[in-house]
C-alpha cells in the first residue's frame, strides 16, 4: 500500500492532489473526503479556525492508522492532508483519499481513517472570530 501524509500551513491544493492520483487498472474505487471549515461554531459566527498540533506525534499516530488500514482492507493507496495554523472559513482543513478494488472497502477504510484520526491525532482547534 502506498501512503502519503502532509501536515501543512499552506492551503491544500485539491486539484493538485487529484492530478497526482496513481491507480492501477485492477482498482475500481477511489473515495475521497474533503472537510471544510464552517463559518459557524457552536451557534456563533467565526472567521477561521486555528489548528495546533503536536506534529511529531500526529505524524506517528497517522502512520499507525495507515498500518491498520493496510492490515484490515485490500487498499492500494491512502493519502491524507491536514492543515495547521489559521484556516479561513470555506477552506479545506482535511483531505483524505483511499483507493481500493471495490467501493465497500474504500468507503469503510476512508471512514475508519477519518474517525480514528479525529480520536487519536493530537490536533486541537481554536475558533477565531476575526
Partner 1 sequence: MLAAVQIRVCFFSRARDLAGCAAAVESMPPGSSVKELLERLFRRFPRLAELEKSLRVAVGLDYQSGDCLLRDGDEVSILPPMQGG
Taking phi first (over 0 means left), then psi (-120 to 50 degrees means alpha), and beta for anything else, what does residue 107 get? alpha
Residues with Cβ within 8 Å of residue 97, at least 6 apart in sequence: 17, 21, 30, 31, 32, 33, 77, 78, 79, 80, 110
CA-based radius of gyration for the chain: 15
Nearer of residues 8 and 126 to partner 1, judged by Cβ: 126
| Torsion (CA) 51, 93, 88, 41 in degrees, nearest 10 | -70
Nearer of residues 101 and 107 to partner 1, judged by Cβ: 107
Give me the least distance between CB of 13 and partner 1, in Å please: 19
Nearer of residues 76 and 83 to partner 1, judged by Cβ: 83
**Residues of this chain that bind partner 1 (CB under 8 A):** 35, 51-54, 56-58, 60-61, 82, 93-94, 114, 117-126
C-alpha cell read off for 5: 501524509
Give me the least distance between CB of 3 and partner 1, in Å please: 17
Give me the least distance between CB of 114 and partner 1, in Å please: 6
Q: Which residue has the cell 480514528?
A: 116
Give me the least distance between CB of 126 and partner 1, in Å please: 8
Nearer of residues 3 and 125 to partner 1, judged by Cβ: 125
Amino acid at each position: 500500500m502506498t501512503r502519503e501524509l502532509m501536515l501543512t500551513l499552506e492551503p491544500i491544493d485539491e486539484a493538485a492532489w487529484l492530478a497526482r492520483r496513481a491507480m492501477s487498472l485492477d482498482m475500481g474505487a477511489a473515495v475521497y473526503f474533503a472537510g471544510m471549515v464552517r463559518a459557524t461554531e457552536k451557534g456563533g459566527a467565526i472567521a477561521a479556525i486555528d489548528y495546533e498540533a503536536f506534529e511529531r506525534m500526529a505524524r506517528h499516530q497517522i502512520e499507525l492508522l495507515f498500518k491498520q488500514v493496510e492490515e484490515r482492507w485490500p487498499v492500494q493507496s491512502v493519502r491524507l492532508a491536514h492543515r495547521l495554523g489559521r484556516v479561513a472559513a470555506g477552506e479545506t482543513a482535511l483531505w483524505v483519499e483511499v483507493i481500493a478494488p471495490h467501493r465497500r472497502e474504500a468507503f469503510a477504510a476512508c471512514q475508519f481513517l477519518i474517525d480514528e484520526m479525529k480520536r487519536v491525532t493530537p490536533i486541537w482547534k481554536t475558533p477565531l472570530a476575526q
